[in-house]
Chain A
Amino acid sequence: MALSHLAASASRSSSLLKPLSSALSLRRSISGDNSPLTVETSVPFTSHQCEAPSRSVETNPKELLTFFRDMALMRRMEIAADSLYKAKLIRGFCHLYDGQEAVAVGMEAAITKKDCIITAYRDHCTFVSRGGTLLEVFAELMGRQAGCSKGKGGSMHFYKKDSNFYGGHGIVGAQVPLGCGLAFAQKYSKDETVTFALYGDGAANQGQLFEALNISALWDLPAILVCENNHYGMGTAEWRAAKSPAYYKRGDYVPGLKVDGMDALAVKQACKFAKEHALKNGPIILEMDTYRYHGHSMSDPGSSYRTRDEISGVRQERDPIERIRKLILSHDLATEKELKDVEKEVRKEVDDAIAQAKSFGADRKEVRATLP
């Protein structure tokens, strides 16, 4: 009798304890705080013609949780786009970014909306990191008027000028001289801002890139060329396309940095470093070592030139979202359940946006050309 009484009182006292711990977890809310935290990057930076920045990155719980949420959103968005494409609601070209999310979120964390970003056609996530909404993404992909380009652009032509995102370009390599032009204009206008011009390992061999880099170096333009090296230019592996796949060195007289592109904190550190450099010394190249899980586009299964083992290996060892999840859990910034809840929330956001985008009819009345 006494034992059961004890047990009862014990369970009561333990239930007394429970509300206290959950109260603690309520105070430590899922959005985190700004208390500084220093994290080491996965690997050190490799540099060319410059001194590499430190491996120790300053961050805080809020930032890490934002990274997690944003990358989870992007991942979910791209996977949903895959389904929509297979359901024939998205037509033409659709190039997905899943796997590369850390580059978009890390870069954004290091800069402001006054800095410019320009990229190629794998632009959905970059558009979102610049402030684009899910509705604008899905409506554009499905050709509806509510899309960011009113359905006239499509997957490869997302723009957000008010946050200095200049697209969204379909011609491989063209965005690099355009980005150097943005940097020229920033310098001309004395804005003290920089431009990040993103391109892939496939575009890294384009002549116009070297033409633009030459001019940028001659004129000291605040241009940062970011090679998102996912190791395959469509179906061609980097070693088959580039005599020298050390893209961060290809600038020759232009300094470069090689970065683990699957580590959002490393990306942030590198972009911060690059911005400071570009404002003082002109162009710099960042090579982001990254990976795309999908093929080049939805027409490409992505497994004829890569092994499934390679793809699953990267997913297991280097996934950018998993890295941040582990970091958050190991620093006790959130529980596993809380992170799973974030993923559920994000999934719902994506589903809601798709439903809303679908509610805009596909028919259009506007047919008259309004161009000269």
Chain B
Amino acid sequence: MLGQSLLKIRPAISVLRSYSSAAKQMTVREALNSALDEEMSADPKVFLMGEEVGEYQGAYKISKGLLEKYGPERVLDTPITEAGFAGIGVGAAYYGLKPVVEFMTFNFSMQAIDHIINSAAKSNYMSAGQMSVPIVFRGPNGAAAGVGAQHSQCYASWYASCPGLKVLSPYSSEDARGLLKAAIRDPDPVVFLENELLYGESFPVSDEVLDSSFCLPIGKAKIERKGKDVTITAFSKMVGYALKAAEILEKEGIDAEVINLRSIRPLDRSTINASVRKTNRLITVEEGFPQHGVGAEICASVVEESFAYLDAPVERIAGADVPMPYAANLERMAVPQVEDIVRAAKRACYRVVPLAAAA
């Protein structure tokens, strides 16, 4: 009893340090780098291609050291021609290699989107299984800080609507390692949405996560925080915000369950629905534009499968329906903040006047 209350006083990190299996801290950047390194080491067919991935060590240093280790035949600096090099990557995948194509940000993937969708995603189906396309398209997605409208869009819902693609979005270092390894090993095209602002964040990683065989299943969400009053779904950076919101809500007597989607396509509908059937309330959180977003799909899924269990309307928290402004105060208003998630959860729990009645 005494020990337990002592544990409560100590800060969270030292609690983790006391367990030898969770001793190490790793940044998301290190996680991605080590995953790439290990997969390239294990399989000579894996190669990396993109702008500045080689000599520059990666625009965000994700591919640091890889050129030196694997040479210019496997770590290729491309010209600034996304349509060209994405198409070349897909062609190489047709032949049986395993390309990892980096987009400096997913905003630039729009220049190559025909190859991602029409050349990669649809080929397995159109060829009735003859063509396999084991390619990974990865890079930072969503808003950074002050980069403006053309460099801040979240592409999760665009790619996730396309059959033939798998779309993953890690939050923690464990996610980054496990999901990138799974993506590289997968025989189908995978869109891997990272987040620039998470690259420098540190997370604890267990020995299991550090092992080179570590891999996470595609299509399984993770319950980051168990709760019973309201379900909050999120992916990427918003998972951190949802967890912070949950801490605030706990103090007000609302026990939130936070689900880290990890996989946008396939969406882990069963985990989400099981959670909603338990809590009866749902808030979806995403950074991207609200219309036709990830939250819209989750809401539809829950209405289809668990309608009778809902005690409140599903609410989606999303980025503002506006191109990302530059000024810091406007940018802050254009992206979900922790307070928005808290307010929405309270509304779902009838702690405040519902939105519709206030309008």
Contacts and interface: CB of A to CB of B under 8 A. Distances in A.
Interface of A: 116, 118, 148-153, 157, 159-161, 166-171, 174, 176-186, 188-189, 207-208, 210-212, 214-215, 218-219, 369, 371-372
A126 to B, nearest CB: 15
Given A150-B128, A161-B130, A185 B91 contact: yes
A182 B95 contact: yes
A169 B119 contact: yes
Nearest to B135: A181
B118 interface: yes
B118 A181 contact: no
B127 A149 contact: yes
Given A169-B119, A214-B84, 4 more contacts: A148-B128, A149-B128, A149-B130, A177-B87
Contact of B91 (A149, A153, A182, A371): A182
Contacts of A188: 47, 73, 92, 97
Interface stretch (B21-29, B75-83, B236-244, B347-355): B75-83
Size category, B interface: 35 or more
Given A153-B126, A153-B128, A208 B95 contact: no
B128 A152 contact: yes
Given A166-B94, A167-B127, A185-B92, A174 B163 contact: no
B136 to A, nearest CB: 14
B266 interface: yes
Nearest to B266: A372
Interface of B: 47, 73, 76, 78-79, 81, 83-97, 114-115, 118-119, 123-128, 130-131, 163-166, 188, 218-219, 265-266
A305 to B, nearest CB: 27
Given A174-B115, A211-B79, A180 B125 contact: no
Contact of A215 (B78, B95, B218, B266): B78
A211 B95 contact: no
Given A178-B94, A185-B97, A214-B79, A159 B88 contact: no
Nearest to B163: A371
Given A174-B87, A181-B87, A159 B95 contact: no
A160 B127 CA distance: 9
Contacts of B73: 188
Among B85, B91, B126, chain A packs the most CB atoms within 10 A around the CB of: B91
A347 B232 CA distance: 66
Nearest 8 interchain pairs by C-beta: A181-B91, A177-B87, A211-B84, A185-B95, A150-B128, A211-B81, A178-B91, A181-B88
Nearest to B77: A218
A372 B81 contact: no
Contacts of B94: 166, 178, 181-182, 185
A182 B133 CA distance: 12
A369 to B, nearest CB: 7
Contact of A149 (B79, B90, B126, B165): B126
